A and B are shown apart, each in its own frame.
Chain A
Amino acid sequence: MVVTGDYASAYGALLCDVDVVAAYPITPQTLIVEEFSNFVNDGITDAELIMVESEHSAMSACIAAQACGVRTFTATSSQGLALMHEMLFIASALRLPIVMPVVNRTLAAPIGIWCEHNDSMPERDAGWLQMSCEDNQEVLDMIIMAYKIGERKDVLLPVMPCLDAFILSHTVEPVDAPSSDEVAEFLPKYNPYAELDPEKPMAIGTFTPPEYIQELRYQQHVAMERAKKAIKEVTEEFYKKFGRNYYGLVEEYRCDDADYILVTNGTVTGTAREVVDELRNKGKKVGLLKLRFYRPFPAEELRKVAENAEAIGIYDRAISYGVGGPLFIEARNALYGYTLPVYNFLAGLGGRDVTKKDVEKMFEIMMEKRKGEIYWLNTRGVKI
């Protein structure tokens, strides 16, 4: 089928046979909610659809429904995600594997609707698995894998597949969709670890004193660590069943003998892949590391490619003011003790296009071994 990223999200949820969807519309996520509403009203699914009055309520309802032992789905973006902030921590701490695509959109002020990662990245500490998609195929596939990863008993964490606003959400691409039977074989019916049921009463989310909470935090941390293995195993299983390989937490592209490696996430990856090919044709030893996951962070994978590299560049579409891009902060942390230069390239903030020329510039800065760490590309009045 030829569909938008938003449609791929909604269709992914449909294939996963979700039971309850609670959502609130926000541009550019609206199509996800609309498409799912169509599935319900056309009788394609008998999922319960709750069109709540805010994103805060959407996540609240999903948490409650999932605590009752059913598979839930919602989606959001930008301000809506920020409004959910409080509830994100509750979903993960109650160990409820909810799946919620986030269409990455700039977070006001000033208000804008285009692609920026400053909505999802500040949620890195909310205890959700967080990953970015390169194309609409990955969006669809990731929704399916997200339930499989999150619902594993050694993980039990919610998952946030992220897709770039408009570049994916509203752009149609050919997408290969598996049948619902194939998905059902891959993703069995939800089997909750615990559920609210009058037959066996229990309390979820009690008021809890200091004697107990630290252990729960530790368990969440361990679960996030375990998710790394789960992701690798699930992507492998997905590859065997559906023939598309996502290589776990990262995808290496021409990294084997590369001296200069650019680390990307989201849709910029596609542009960067072309630039890498062109530079390789010119004899430059460049490579690309696509980060699929931001949480858990693929520190080992990053260290592996850094072993023989001359320099590493980190692309960011968000900024942690006064420090640098969020991925850059993570990458530098992962590369602690390494001596190679680590550059941070900030481009495309507020939704501005990131072109092949911009990516070439990133490689150029790395190959010239320029001084300095943080480069803002295409920022008017700033020379690089």
Chain B
Amino acid sequence: MNIKDLPEESLFTPGHTACAGCAAPAIVRNMMKIFGKDTIVYTPANCLLVFSGTYPHLAWKVPYLHEAFENTAACLSGIARAYKKKGKKVIAVGFAGDGGTYDIGIQALSGAAERNEDVIYVCYDNEAYMNTGIQRSGATPYGADTTTTPAGRKILGKLEHKKDMAEIMRAHEVPYVATMSISHQKDFIEKTKKAKEISGFRYLHVLSPCPTGWRFDPSKSIEMARKAVESGMWTLYEAEYGEITNIYKPKKKIPVEEYIKGQGRFRHLTPEMIKALQDWVDRKWKKLYGELPQ
């Protein structure tokens, strides 16, 4: 199935107020076309809540709930169990950002995964707290300039590497984990469809380039996402019950430098820092593919 085969009707409507070039609406809109109308959506505090759910305007044509920040997976559990009791089939989907997933929300996420709740948890990962103004999160890559890891005179950006959230979820041995990118739409659609068909806990992790936070031209979001995959900064795979069942290997691997050079958040990186980032990618590559990049 391809993007043009998706239904015309959009359950996530135009008129939302996302920044130009934001990947999140594309992720949500396409996923919702696949999930369909018998879906109940939860969003924690994030950009998506603000740009799609500010009263009295709403970009959703499905039931929609927000409670707080750290509890996406717990709220999804409540929705799924209520409908199980009601004996009606609905899909409980949460769209959380990286902060709400990697950091404050990881306890509820891990708990729901361990209980194998029948829900779909989507993390749209823009690699910082973008809603509150570009503060570092556990998803922020090494070296990135954020407002809480500024490229200062003494310390140049974030000192730690990105946490491997998909691997943490894979370790929970849940029915389905998939990493996705908006640059690889066929793969994106197939994984979303698969997630819809499986029951139990499903974790979908999508890289969501953020022109505002990453500081690149808003017309280049898809290009950024593609380069993230081609450089190995972002990896596409599927795992079922903890086993990787499908992994995408870019035909041509590009250096990390080529991915980061168009982004203002990495502008200050020294050659040593670029090497540190490249080394991290290489280590990750070897771990996932069992070989060093060619």
B77 lies within 8 A of A52 (CB): yes
Q: Across the two chains, which residue of chain B brings its CB closest to A47? A: B85
Neighbouring B residues of A202 by C-beta, 8 Å: 63-64
Bound CA–CA A58/B74 (angstroms):
7
| Inter-subunit contact B65/A196 (CB<8 Å) | yes
CB distance from A197 to the nearest CB of B (A): 6
Q: Are B54 and A65 in contact (CB under 8 A)?
A: no
Q: B79: CB under 8 A from chain A?
A: yes
Interface footprint category on A: 35 or more
B75 contacts the other chain (CB 8 A): yes
Interface presence of A144 (CB below 8 A) = no
Q: Which of A54, A60, A70, A208 contacts B67 (CB 8 A)?
A: A60
Majority SS at the chain A contact face: mixed
B167 → chain A, closest Cβ, in Å?
Answer: 20
Whether A70 pairs with B85 at a CB distance below 8 angstroms is: yes
Residues of A30-74 at the interface with B, using a CB-CB cut-off of 8 Å, are 46-48, 50-54, 56-58, 60-70, 72
Contact A206 B53 (CB under 8 A): yes
A48 and B53 contact, Cβ closer than 8 Å, known pairs A63-B67, A86-B68: no
Report the stretch among B36-44, B186-194, B278-286 that lies at the interface: B36-44
With A201-B63, A204-B65, A205-B67 in contact, is A64–B55 under 8 Å at CB?
Answer: no
B61, B79, B111, B115: which contacts A196 (Cβ < 8 A)? B79
Partner of A50, one of B49, B78, B86: B78
Query: Contact check: which of A60, A72, A203 meets B74 at CB < 8 Å?
Result: A60
Q: Which of A57, A204, A212 meets B64, CB within 8 Å?
A: A204
Contacts of A72 in B (CB 8 A): 78
Bound complex: CA A52 to CA B76 (Å): 12
What 0/1 pattern do residues 27 to 66 of B give for CB contact below 8 A with A? 0000000000111101000000110011110101111111
Residue B125 lies at the interface, judged by CB distance under 8 Å to chain A: no
| Residue B81 at the chain A interface, CB threshold 8 Å | yes
Contact A198 B78 (CB under 8 A): no
A355 to chain B, nearest CB (A): 43
A57-B71, A64-B65, A203-B65 as given contacts; A22 in contact with B86, CB under 8 Å: no
Say whether A64 contacts B75, CB under 8 Å: yes
Cβ of A201 and Cβ of B61 under 8 Å apart? yes
Rounded to whole Å, the gap between the CB of A322 and the closest CB of chain B is 31
CB of A48 within 8 A of CB of B82, answer yes
Whether the Cβ atoms of A207 and B85 lie closer than 8 Å is no
In the complex, how many angstroms separate the beta carbon of B239 from the nearest chain A beta carbon?
A: 22
Contact-residue size bin, chain B (C-beta under 8 Å from the other chain): 35 or more
Contact, CB under 8 Å: B68 / A60: yes
Interchain CB contact under 8 A, A64 and B42: yes
For A47, the chain B residues whose CB sits under 8 A away are 85
- The CA of A53 and the CA of B77, in the complex, are separated in Å by 12
**A68–B68 CB distance below 8 A:** no
Does A209 make an interface contact (CB < 8 A)? Answer: yes
B79 touches A87 (CB 8 A): no
- In the complex the two chains form, what is the Cα distance from A48 to B42 in whole Å? 20
Taking each of B42, B85, B90, which has the highest tally of chain A beta carbons within 10 Å of its own beta carbon? B85
B77 in contact with A50 (CB, 8 Å)? yes
Q: Does A90 contact B (CB under 8 A)?
A: yes
Quick check: A60 and B86 within 8 Å, CB to CB?
A: no
- Which residues of the other chain, B, contact A50 by a CB distance below 8 angstroms? 77-78, 81, 115, 117
Residue pair A207, B65 in contact (C-beta under 8 Å): no
Interface presence of A20 (CB below 8 A): yes
Contacts of B68 in A (CB 8 A): 60, 86-87, 90
What residues of B have a CB within 8 angstroms of the CB of A70 in the complex?
A: 82, 85-86
- In the complex with contacts A51-B115, A205-B66, A205-B67, A198-B90 CB distance below 8 A: yes
* Residues in A whose Cβ lies below 8 Å from that of B85: 19-20, 46-48, 70
- Nearest Cβ in chain A — how far from B193, in angstroms? 19
Q: How far is the CB of A40 from chain B (nearest CB, A)?
A: 12
Residues 84-102 of chain A: 1 if any B CB is under 8 Å from the residue's CB, otherwise 0? 0011001000100000000
Closest chain B CB from A200 CB (angstroms): 8
Which residues on the B side are within 8 Å of A54 (C-beta)? 107-108, 111
> How distant is B232 from chain A, measured CB to nearest CB, in Å?
33
Complex alpha-carbon distance, A58 and B108, angstroms: 10
Residues of B149-174 at the interface with A, using a CB-CB cut-off of 8 Å, are none
**Contact between B55 and A206 (Cβ–Cβ < 8 Å)?**
yes
Q: Which of B39, B55, B70, B110 contacts A198 (CB 8 A)?
A: B39
**Known A56-B74, A201-B61, A208-B55: A20·B67 in contact at CB below 8 Å:** no
Whether B289 is near chain A, meaning CB under 8 Å from some CB there, is no
Report whether A206 and B58 are in contact in the complex, using a CB–CB cutoff of 8 Å: yes
Taking CB as reference atom, which chain A residue is nearest B75? A64
Write out the residue numbers on chain A whose beta carbons fall within 8 Å of the beta carbon of B90.
198
Closest to A207 in B: B54
Residues of B whose CB lies within 8 Å of any CB of A are 37-40, 42, 49-50, 53-56, 58, 60-68, 70-71, 73-79, 81-86, 90, 107-108, 110-111, 114-115, 117
14 pairs of residues in contact across A and B, judged by CB atoms under 8 Å? A19-B85, A20-B81, A22-B77, A57-B108, A60-B68, A61-B81, A64-B42, A66-B78, A87-B68, A196-B64, A201-B62, A203-B64, A204-B64, A204-B65
Task: Give the top 5 A-B pairs by smallest Cβ distance, nearest first.
Answer: A64-B78, A53-B111, A57-B74, A61-B78, A68-B82
